[in-house]
Chains A and B, each alone.
Chain A
Amino acid sequence: MSNNLLDVQNLTMKFGGLIAIDDLSFSAKKDHITSIIGPNGAGKTTVFNCLTGFYKATAGSMYLNKDNNKMDLKKFSDFRVAQKAGVARTFQNIRLFPQMSVLENMMVAQHNKLMVASGFSILGLVNSKSYLQKEKEAVEISKYWLDIIGLTNRADDNAGDLPYGDQRKLEIVRAMCIEPHLLCLDEPAAGLNAKESAELNKLLKFIKNDKKTGILLIEHDMSVVMGISDHVVVLNYGKKIFEGTAKETKNSPEVIEAYLGTED
């Protein structure tokens, strides 16, 4: 148990009469890509919304083990989950700041650090050297990530003007700018072509292996899931119906029936 990055126990989320998540328990490891799969409306996004503080879970517990420090995610509300616990996320429908430049998107993600560096704007207003230095470092970090996804030459363009695939990648590296312990990706491969999908896989492996960041991945596309998942959790009607390696999942009759079977 203790070497798990994330422990979710008996998580339940009700919307009125609708039980979106029903007594769900699973865990995710630090050096793993853990996939959550399931048919439409299975409750995958709702799990993310509970984890990242957007919804208050009806029941259950969620713990993040951060450097041997067990944090109760239920204690944090919305933005504090990202700020204090270091859980970053992306959205099923991309949420960039479309009218702001690519670089600005990356800088907003480093807001809390820069806010302190700017002395809550006082030092920034007087052009203090220490703030300018920190700002430069933040730009360097942004550049580092933009280099990886090949968007450095578009850094000063509006994020909304990027092609769809680049927007997806930008949203992921933007989330990485908060230096998260856990990165939650909601269908990052949706709408990507084969080439972009392969690039995405590479990026996710890099984040897992080199950045030592645990990844929680919601995905519809089974080929993506099979390609990179270390561990798979299958949901149907808010219940966990299977948990195992990618290979086991692929061959599980329950999963084939519930998930693959319902897909047209």
Chain B
Amino acid sequence: MGKDLIQKSLKDSLFTGIIALALFGPIVGLRTVAKNEVLVVEPKWFVVLLIVIFCAVGRFFINLYTFRKEQRRGEQSSFGKAVSNFLDEKGAQIAIAAIAFSIIFPFMPFADRYWMDIAIMMMTYIMLGWGLNIVIGLAGLLDLGYVAFYAVGAYSYALFAIHFGWSFWICLPIAGLFAGMFGILLGFPVLRLRGDYLAIVTLAFGEMIRILLLNWYELTKGPDGLTGIPRPSFFGLPFKRYPDEGVETFHTFFGLEYDPMQRIIFLYYLILILALITNAFTIKIRRLPVGRAWEALREDEIACKSLGVNPRNTKLTAFAVGAMFGGFAGSFFATRQAFISPESFTFIESAIIVAIVVLGGMGSQTGVVLSTIFLIGLIEVFRDFESYRMVAFGGAMVLIMVFRPRGILAKRKPTIMMGKHG
């Protein structure tokens, strides 16, 4: 049975690969660009190769898993189920493998500036997704203004760093604290709202913060944005080619050649660490009483009240904690860009983060990673087709919602098991 199945799947996936090549070859692979007023074709075979491999391998696994399932139980079973079961069984190993891959990623031969930038961007979205997952996924509060906390974090980081010259590691917690305070500030008026109403008010809150940043010129320089945000340093060692007199830099200290990639790699690890902290924190707090109360509140607020759970405090902590991580991510954004303006904090950012959380499967940490790779990857692939980007984005969301209406990974693991205690 096994050999036959694999053979069949391989054949099928080969066929899928050919179709993918025929389709994506011309669409993605052959790109026309204007050079010196002449249109020339610029091939992008590497991307095509990636897509083809993706399609073929994906098809192979669909075949393997759905077929095998059918044989075992004699019932129809979906690919998504197979994936989530697989992730369930091998969850710990996959997580370790993914983290290991993330750690060695900057030293991969293909990891040039372009890939590093994408990786940093994805990691930022993963962190934002994990932060918002607390609010939407766990507490069930549909927050469409999450970017506001990202903005508050970025601006408070920038202002403290510029005006007081404090280092990243001092400004970071301050920015998180500020964002958390704004989370509570938003939390209070929306305590009684649920569902659509909550979504509308949070959306408005996000816009209010952006407009405030645009108009409070004395503090935020309005649309001009804040420039000269200090770049991060490696424990006090700056990444500079020509440092000021007598200042040791990262490359002189370690006796290296100066390379701008050093700073990029450092930024990459910085966001990796911040994201992993967010993840570890969420996993841990989910198993604490407050985390369980968040989920209970999502399930049934009235039942919560009847058990003496304070819905107000529970919601506020969810808003505050989620906002705090948004603020941390904002600090990172500010120090990475060295320049921020309200332009970076528009509603579309909130929408993307919400999409990441919802498509990933409400409350699933792994789902956030998968949907970020998928959505941001998609946006990147379509970067050159500016006008089709949002079409592809929307199409992807529709597809996921059709096939996985509850998100890529909808399965939820209990936060405490009798087996381990009883």
Is B39 in the interface zone, CB < 8 Å from A? Answer: no
With A99-B412, A100-B414 as contacts: A78 and B292 at CB distance below 8 Å: no
Chain B residues, Cβ within 8 Å of A52: 306
Residue interface bits B269-305, CB-to-A below 8 A is 1, else 0? 0000000000001001100111011011001101111
* B300, A95: Cβ atoms closer than 8 Å: yes
Give the residue name and chain of the B residue nearest to A80 (CB): B308
Q: Say yes or no: A91 contacts B422, CB within 8 Å.
A: no
What are the residues of chain A within 8 A of B309 when measuring CB–CB? 79, 108, 111-112
- Chain B, residue nearest A124 (CB): B288
With A79-B309, A79-B310, A79-B311 as contacts: A99 and B288 at CB distance below 8 Å: no
A82 to B419, CA, bound (A): 30
Measured CB to CB, the nearest residue on chain A to B291 is A121
CB distance from A31 to the nearest CB of B (A): 24
Given contacts A95-B302, A111-B292, contact A104 B285 (CB under 8 A): no
Q: Are A108 and B284 in contact (CB under 8 A)?
A: no
Tell me whether B422 and A143 are in contact (CB under 8 A): yes
CA distance A117 to B281 in the complex (A): 19
For chain A, give the interface size range: 35 or more
Encode contact with B along A91-104: 1 for CB under 8 Å, 0 otherwise. Answer: 10001111111011
Evaluate contact between B289 and A97: CB separation under 8 angstroms.
Answer: no
A150 to chain B, nearest CB (A): 14
Pairwise interchain contact B306-A103, C-beta atoms closer than 8 A = no
B99 close to chain A: CB less than 8 A? no
Verify B417–A156 contact, CB threshold 8 A: yes
User: Considering only CB atoms, which chain A residue lies closest to B302 in the complex?
Assistant: A95
Q: Assign chain B's interface to a size class.
A: 20 to 34
In the complex with contacts A54-B305, A143-B418, A156-B418, A121-B299 CB distance below 8 A: no
B296 cross-chain contacts in A, Cβ below 8 A: 97, 100, 104, 108, 111
Instruction: Judge whether A136 and B288 touch: CB under 8 Å.
Output: no
Min distance, Cβ A137 to any Cβ of chain B, angstroms: 10
Contact B417 A78 (CB under 8 A): no
Q: Do B295 and A152 touch (CB < 8 A)?
A: no
- CB nearest neighbor in A for B321: A121
**Partner among B292, B307, B414 whose Cβ is within 8 Å of the Cβ of A82:** B307
Say whether B90 faces chain A, with CB atoms less than 8 Å apart: no
Q: Does B416 contact A (CB under 8 A)?
A: yes
A125-B284, A139-B418, A152-B422 are contacts. A82–B290 as well, Cβ < 8 Å? no
Task: Let me know if B288 and A118 touch, CB within 8 A.
Answer: yes
B308 and A107 contacting across the interface, CB-CB below 8 Å: no
Give CA–CA (A52, B306) in the complex, Å. Answer: 8
Tell me the smallest distance from the CB of A68 to a CB of chain B, in Å: 22
Are B299 and A97 closer than 8 Å at their CB atoms? yes
15 A–B pairs (Cβ distance < 8 Å), ordered by A: A52-B306, A79-B305, A82-B305, A89-B306, A90-B306, A96-B300, A100-B299, A109-B307, A111-B307, A121-B290, A125-B285, A139-B421, A155-B418, A156-B414, A156-B419
- Interface residues of B, Cβ cutoff 8 Å to A: 281, 284-285, 288-290, 292-293, 295-296, 299-300, 302-311, 317, 412, 414-419, 421-422
Q: Which 10 A-B pairs have the closest CB atoms?
A: A83-B308, A82-B308, A155-B418, A97-B299, A101-B414, A95-B303, A114-B289, A124-B288, A79-B305, A108-B296
Apart from A91-B302, A139-B421, A178-B308, 5 more pairs, CB < 8 Å: A91-B303, A98-B299, A100-B414, A121-B317, A139-B416
